[in-house]
Amino acid sequence: MRILMLTAGIAAMVLFSGCSGERSLEDTEVADWNNEITELEDGLSAVLYEGDYEFQEFLAQGGASSDGEVVQFLTRNVILGASGLELQSRAFGCSTILAPAGNGEYLFGRNFDWNTCEALIVGSRPAQGYASISTVNTDFIRQSAGGITGLALRDEEILTLASLYAPLDGMNEKGFAVSVNMIQDSARIEQDTDKPDLTTTTAVRLLLNQAGDVEEALELLGQYDLHGSMGMMVHFALADASGRSVVAEYIDNKMVVTETPVVTNFYLAEGEKYGIGTSQSHERYEILMARLEEQDVFTAEDVRDALSSVSKRNFGEFESTEWSIVLNQADMEARYYHREDYTRHYTFSMP
């Protein structure tokens, strides 16, 4: 695979002040989209895909009830001739926050906590649907033949096309944002009606392509049977440009919606499931809720500081926060911070 170094549209040192009031330097790079995979730094790359990747056909033929079925569709219709391709998921932690930015605008922040991995920022401008920015852990995409994994896939086209079906978070041109957060629970999501099927990541792709706001997202989710990837329990943090923010959870295979500006890794729906999840996820939730109670208006730097306050280095664990994103749902920009380096970010505009 060809890996290119970043060509920055603008690189600058800027002064900022977060909610602490302290001023410091932050290195920012405004990144140009490229149709080839571009390495921003070790472990973080970006790519733009323009055109059709058969997602409407995927939905029309009934979707998929497992990651294996997604792969079958990809290898038969999208990535012809690719062999040994697998989509895998493993346990991960996350935090999201929706913060008011003033003047009726909002900022959506997201941490993805996992082991060291290869992250790919994917810009999508589909033939049908909304343009979007999303993030993929490419360690979850594997080409098993010959033991080839991750960014050592046969070529970058395979990785790019597979990644379009494997987003973990993102925002579209309408300012709608979504994030998948895991819950540590033995229960599974295996809805079984006569509706077409979706897996965790193809549900995210559906929402990015077709949902203009939270209400539309919930309506779309209700039209499909969801199947949690690798048997994992997840919930979806959904937020739109109007400031509505909810979590969609699956309890006894029924979707339950709860209004909330913060989502981590425990159930938020009232009832017997409420609170099930890790103790640390409760701590992260309380920290972020306290930020919202202490402050009425947030800048992008304030949201960054909030994400930094719940990043993994604060908890002395082996995991790291692999990426943090601040999404401006009015300006349609995404700031990416990588591996808890909150002194530097990459800014992407909506493709």
Residue 151: the pLDDT is 32
Counting the structural domains of the chain, the total is 1
pLDDT, residue 75, reads 85
Task: Assign 206 to helix, strand or coil.
Answer: helix
**Facing residues of 190 across strands?**
227
Per-residue H/E/C for 84-126: CEEECCCCCEEEEEEEEEECCEEEEEEEEEECCCCEEEEEEEE
Would you say residue 252 has pLDDT above 90? yes
Exposed/middle/buried for residue 172 (C-beta within 10 Å: 0-12, 13-18, 19+): buried
Which pLDDT band holds residue 263 (cuts at 50, 70, 90)? very high
pLDDT at 142 over 70: no
Given a cut of 90, is residue 285 above it in pLDDT? Answer: yes
% pLDDT > 70, the chain? 85
* Per-residue pLDDT band at 7 (split at 50, 70, 90): very low
Q: Which residues contact 252 (CB under 8 A, 6 or more apart)?
A: none
Q: What is the pLDDT confidence band of residue 4, given thresholds at 50, 70 and 90?
A: very low
Angle formed at CA 309 by CA 331 and CA 172, multiple of 5 degrees: 25
Count the neighbouring beta carbons within 10 Å of the beta carbon of residue 20.
10
Mean pLDDT, range 286-298, rounded to an integer: 99
pLDDT category of residue 88 using cuts at 50, 70 and 90:
low
Full residue range of the structural domain in which residue 50 is found: 4-349
**Could you tell me the pLDDT band of residue 129, with boundaries at 50, 70 and 90?**
very high
Q: Which two tokens stand for residue 239?
A: 């937020």
Which of 147 and 326 is assigned the larger pLDDT? 326
Q: Which CATH number do you get for residue 114?
A: 3.60.60.10
pLDDT digits (tens, 9 = 90+) for 230-242: 789 999 999 999 9
Q: What mean pLDDT comes out for the span 325-336?
A: 99
Tokens of 184: 């540590």
**DSSP string over 249-302:** EEETTEEEEEE-SEE-SB--SSSTTTT-B-HHHHHHHHHHHHHHHH-S---HHH
Specify the pTM.
Answer: 0.90
Read off the pLDDT of residues 171-212 as tens digits, 9 standing for 90 and up: 999 999 999 999 999 999 999 999 999 999 999 999 999 999
State the Cα–Cα distance between residues 6 and 39, nearest whole angstrom.
6
The arithmetic mean of pLDDT across residues 116-133, rounded, is: 97
Give the span between the Cα atoms of 73 and 75, in whole angstroms.
6
Closest of 44, 20, 48 to residue 32, by C-alpha: 48
Mean pLDDT, the chain, rounded, equals: 89
Torsion over CA: 264, 211, 133, 88 (sign) = positive
Q: What is the pLDDT of residues 30-86, one digit of tens each?
A: 999 999 999 999 999 999 999 999 999 999 999 999 988 998 999 889 886 555 555
